[in-house]
Chain A
Amino acid sequence: MTSSRKSTLLHLGVLALLVVLFFVLPPYHAGNLSRIMVLAIYAMGYNLLFGYTGLLSLGHAMFFAAGMYGFGLTLNLGGWPVPLAFVAGVVCAGALALVIGLLALRTAGVAFMIVTLMFAQTGYLVVLYFGTYTRGDEGFVIQQAQRMLGGFDLTSETGRYVTALILFAICFLGLARLVQTPFGRTLVAIRENEERTRMLGYDAGSHKLRALIISGAVSGVAGAAYALLFGYVGATFATVQYSIFPLLWVLLGGAGTTIGPLIGVFFMFYLIDTSSTYTNAYMLIAGVVLVLLTVFAPQGLAGELRKRVFKWLP
């Protein structure tokens, strides 16, 4: 079996597993999984930029929040229908990524980290500044009545799971395909050696900008989906914490692998969930496990699997 056949089977297998899990898992865990899938979309968006293109952003919360507020505000204040508001959220995130990219991509390395961090901080302050509309830290709830799609109730456990799974599947398969295209391969080349890539005749700058826009837009999908499925929009999601999360998830799961983000989110979610049932110091346990993983599995869970067992892992 060729590597590409294997990876197609793997991706379809993961999706099939997620379908099966819905029927066998108790409701509590199925609910968790809906949330994990939405957050995994965010992690996948981040992974395209960090894992594949080699650009470490510390400001992705601004794209997540742009998707969330773009959706929530047009729905709540503008009275837009759900699909249109959702598209608005994604477009907001993509457009923000374009503007940020034009400015931030003039820098590289540590400077890029700091510039994105600063822009995200600005984004957070903008949310607070326009508190009249955004309700600032307090945030606002999206009423259950608004979270309907053609008679389909998105607040029910099933509605949530199905929506999260469909969105996850689109992003998962789409990104898995994207990184195999000549465009995706060029992103990897930029990560590995940008100067060489440029001297092979590729426009590295435009590739990085496009990667950032896609990454931002996918993060926006996650932000909008989060607001849609869990009914809350708040400034917490624009804080630096939410910029660090995707980095941790991707590092844990395996940067530059297609299944790493899902594994990373899943692992961290249940690490905190499980440890918090035993002790109040659950963050301590999480911290120790993270340190151990970074020391013993620096390429993340999927990355180590690829290195040791499944060399074909995409």
Chain B
Amino acid sequence: MSSIDLDRWEVVIGLEVHAELATRTKLFSAATAEFGGEPNTHIDPLTLGLPGSLPVLNSHAVELAIRVGLALNCTVQRSVFARKNYFYPDQPKNYQISQYDLPINADGFLELPSGKIVGVERAHLEEDTGKSTHIGGGGRIHDAQYSLVDLNRAGVPLLEIVGRPDLRNAEDARAYVSELRAVLVAVGASDGKMEEGSLRVDCNVSVRERGAAEFGTRCEIKNINSLRSLGRAIDYEAARQVDLIDSGERVVQQTRHWNEDDGRTHTLRSKEGADDYRYFPDPDLIELDPDPEWVERIRAELPLLPAERRHRLAERVGGSTEAVALIVDRGLDVLCLAAIDAGADAGRVVTHAEHNLSDERARDLDPAAFASLVRMETDGALTATQAKTVLAELVERGGDPASIAAAKGFEAMDTSELEGIVDGLISAHPDEWQRFCDGDVKVTGFFVGQVMKATGGKADGKAVTALLNSRTA
């Protein structure tokens, strides 16, 4: 399938992200919410939907939901739990407790590293379902002889975060999920692990001709297990829809299943309307109306969020949006700010954090040691290459940059010694020197290389270039 003509078509994407909340117990009962475990060992009467069992709301799940709501700039409001009715063996009550017309969090937004603002319609609490394994027919659901059900996950608290259809390409969609995950982790609401299913992404995709006022018919894509799959699924699905329209057919609203192996989406079922779920307020549960004082206390305790950390760092260092985002993503912004406070050059600090500190242990670097390394570099005591080597050693083993530099023999070259070497080379290579004087910059490398050879790599390339230039005068 060919890629689509983006001058003509606009892709519209809205994401629904389900995040498992990091509670110890389930949303409405005291069974453990731990991941995994032997099948059906995290079960209690409510999880099994036994007659007479009644749900009681987990206060910590509510607190985590509020943290996320506030972090996403939502209004935290009075909410009601509703029953979403459907029959499926991974949900023994025959309904899922969710929130419908009154979600706990409404109307917020998320700021991406690029500065783009993506609307968040709502973020509501609901229960997770159990897991089915289909036996026979090669594990395919339609040919299975029977299914096995594990209810450990049934009832684990989920926050469903419904984004507005504000995204226009796969790259932004990935950035949105990645930023949302960073926020969830920052506020301690979720571990954000897509591979363990703690974070699950359903993706609504439609296409329309540029300038069209109305959205096209959308398809919802399920079974997206990584950021990479998300991008591939969007590109595939948008192209599929454009092909349909180009060949005179129409897009049918449906749920489609992403298949990682063949790189396509496949029809799963026609989308149920909300009416088919016969939502109604759950009579077993009373209203949730968080006390404003509680909400404000949670707000006051929120950590600095990724977007705020990016703004804070950008104000101090300038630097590209990408570099700042990368540094915050690596959790190195606090280190960088402390090093700059200790007198290190902001530009060098950012360069090192961006290019030389991908190691996770870099977060534990001593800011004072990092700052003194950068000072040695800017004072000319170390070359950029030497500084990089010393930094790697600092991350690996810690210690004092001056001692590490000395141990590696990175003594700053005596200026007169360097001058002697450079002058010697000029005399030994008159042809090359003439070309240098005539402005042939390519020959600079030759001289720098010769100096490095003569000094065993101790010389600073910039100092050599400066010396060469000074000799042309």
- Bound together: no
Q: Which residues of A contact B (CB under 8 A)?
A: none
Q: Which residues of B contact A (CB under 8 A)?
A: none
